[in-house]
Copies of this chain bind each other. A is one copy, B any other.
Amino acid sequence: MSKQRIVVQKYGGTSVGSAERIQEVAKRVIRHREKGDSIVVVVSAMSGETNKLVALINELNPNGSAREKDVVLSTGEQVTIGLLSLALEAKGCPAISYTGSQAGVKTDNSFSKARISNIDCSKIKADLSAGKVVVVAGFQGVDENGNITTLGRGGSDTTAVALAVALDAAECQIYTDVDGVYTTDPRMVPEASHIPKLALEEMLEMASQGSKVLQIRAVEFAYKYNMPIRVLSSFDEGDDGKSTLVTREEDIMEEVLVRGVAFNKDEALLTILGVPDQPGVAFKILGPISDANIEIDMILQNASADGSTDFTFTVHRNDYDQAKEILQATAKKFGAKNVGGDQTIAKVSIVGGGMRSHAGVATKMFEALAKENINIRMISTSEIKVAVVIDEKYLELAVRSLHESFRLDDA
C-alpha cells in the first residue's frame, strides 16, 4: 500500500468569518480529501474575534502580563477548530480538533511572540491513519511549563508551515482572500500581474519588503526546511482557481530578472549625526535600541571627512518615539551633534532571482525613480533585492513607475 500524501491547509480569519464561511471551508476540505490526500487543517480566529478580545484586554489592562493576554487571545482559534470539526462531521467527514497545546506545538515562553521549538505529531499521525481530518488551532502553542503561548499576529501561517514540515507534507496550502502573489499590490497598481510560481527566496524578500500575502516568519520557516507553499483564495467557487506556488529555486523553470515590486509604509527613519568614528560605534548606538526589543531594519553609516560619522537606521513606526528617546540619551553620552528622524517615509523594493546573474538592475531602478524626480534617502541591497527609502508621498508614483519600467504588467 502506498503512503498517502499529506497536505496541510491553512484558512485565515476571513475564510472562517461566519458559520456559512466555515461550511464552505468544510466542503472544500472534503473535496480535496476525496482526491486521496490526508488533510490537516490549520485555522485562525473568525475575523473580528481577535480584535474584540483585544478591545476587552485594552479596556482592563493594556499593559498587563503577556501570559494572561495569550490565555484570552488563544480562545479565538479554539472556537474555530471546534466549529470546523462539527461542520465536517455534519457532512459525514470524520474530524478531530486540537488546540496548539493538544497538537503538541511546543514553543519557548516568549508570550505574545513565541517561537515554535518542536512539534510532537504522534497524535495527529495516528488520527490521519484512522482516516480523520485533523483540525489544529493556528497561532498558538504551549511552553514547557504548560502555559499557553501565542506566536503573534499572522502566526497561523507559521503553525501551518511548521506542521507541514513536521509531518513531511507534500505542500502547505495557504487559503486567503486573494488568489496568490502579484507583481505588486493590485489595489495600488491595477495592471499588477499574477505570479503562478516563484522561489521561496524571492518570496522571503517580497514578504520582508512588505508584501502582506504571507507572514515573513512562515516563509522563513518554509525556506529553511524547503517546504513548498501554495497561496490560494478560499473565495473562489471551484478548485481550479489561480494560485501561486512558492517553491525551491531549482523547481522554477524560468528565472525572472525582477519578480515584483514590494513596499511598506510601516517604518520610520532615525539619524544620529556627528558621532566619533571609532570601532564599536555601531554596537554602542544600536545596542540600547535592541535591548529595548525594538527591531531595526535598514542600517546606513556614512564616514565623514572630519573623523566623525553619521548613522541612519529604520524601525517600525510604532517604535519610533521610544527609539528616538533612547537615541537621544546615546547622543548625549557620545557628544554627538544631533538626533533627527522622519516618520513619513516609505520603503520600495524590487525583488528577483535573476538579479544574481544580471548587472544593471539597480541602476535601472534608480533611473526610473530619477525620471520621476523622486529623491532616494537610503539604499539597501541583497543578492536578489534592491530596496530604497523615499518620502511617503512619492510611494504610489514610485511603485507604478517601477512596475512599468520592469514591464511587470507584461509578465
Contacts and interface: CB of A to CB of B under 8 A. Distances in A.
Interface in A41-78: 53, 56-57, 59-61, 63-65, 67-72, 74-75, 78
A23 interface: yes
Of A19, A71, A75, most buried by chain B (CB within 10 Å of CB) is A71
A288 B366 CA distance: 84
A46 to B, nearest CB: 9
A125 to B, nearest CB: 16
Given A71-B82, A78-B72, A22 B60 contact: yes
B75 A71 contact: no
A271 interface: no
A64 B87 CA distance: 8
**Copies assembled:** 2
B102 A146 contact: yes
Contacts of A97: 68, 71
B60 A90 contact: yes
- Chain A contact-residue range equals 35 or more
Contact of A61 (B59, B67, B72, B89): B89
A99 interface: yes
B83 A19 contact: no
A145 to B, nearest CB: 9
12 contacts: A19-B56, A19-B59, A19-B60, A56-B83, A57-B83, A57-B86, A60-B83, A65-B89, A68-B97, A71-B99, A74-B78, A75-B79
